[in-house]
Chains A and B, each alone.
Chain A
Amino acid sequence: EAQVTQNPRYLITVTGKKLTVTCSQNMNHEYMSWYRQDPGLGLRQIYYSMNVEVTDKGDVPEGYKVSRKEKRNFPLILESPSPNQTSLYFCASSFFPGSSYEQYFGPGTRLTVT
């Protein structure tokens, strides 16, 4: 089954404790992206990757890091989480370039930082 998986799905942590949210896709997509979803703000892009070893900042990159060592994986790293990073996080992927820009989203990771 074609899908984007994220782990963990739920995470409660404390300020300053480094964490990683994993994202993996099995569709051979070149493009991958991280979004955060906050009430009243919709979804905002954090980082994206056009291909292996190619990453760049989105609209709200402060406090996050990413890496793309393999095509299928795109982990999101919070080296020193803060309460304002409490949010719902989505990983997405798509082909690049292509006739369709459809991005496939993972199920989400709900993060709470206390």
Chain B
Amino acid sequence: QQQVKQSPQSLIVQKGGISIINCAYENTAFDYFPWYQQFPGKGPALLIAIRPDVSEKKEGRFTISFNKSAKQFSLHIMDSQPGDSATYFCAASKGSGGSNYKLTFGKGTLLTVNP
């Protein structure tokens, strides 16, 4: 049972364009939705995260849009740069009530930004 579905698997964008990656989740108990960025040979690193009490969060060129009723959230990268080329993972977690802080990951999106 895949609890977090991510699309697309790969994405090619021209420099300056907008990259959009989508995720959908099933478990309504999730209360934390991070996006991780992973460069080759490195561990994932937190990029931006959102909680379900807000519909959007922006940090620089990166924005998360969250739709609680649809159980979907997405990452938008504005003015995409070649340095943004990496694998992006969405994830979800339920952290309240002393439960496991396990991150349930999507399968990842390989983003390539062409110069």
Query: Residues of A with Cβ closer than 8 Å to B?
Result: 4, 31, 33, 35, 40-45, 48, 50, 56, 58-59, 90, 92, 94, 96-97, 101-108
Contact = CB atoms under 8 A, between A and B. Distances in A.
Contacts of A43: 44, 89, 103, 105
Contact of B46 (A40, A96, A103, A107): A103
Contacts of B36: 105
Interface residues of B, number: 23
Chain B interface mostly helix, strand, loop or mixed?
loop
A41 B44 contact: no
Q: Nearest 9 CB-CB pairs, A to B?
A: A105-B43, A42-B105, A42-B107, A43-B105, A101-B95, A45-B102, A101-B32, A105-B44, A102-B46
A41 to B, nearest CB: 6
7 contacts: A42-B6, A42-B89, A43-B103, A45-B103, A90-B44, A101-B32, A108-B41
Contact of B103 (A40, A96, A103): A103
A108 to B, nearest CB: 5
B12 to A, nearest CB: 19
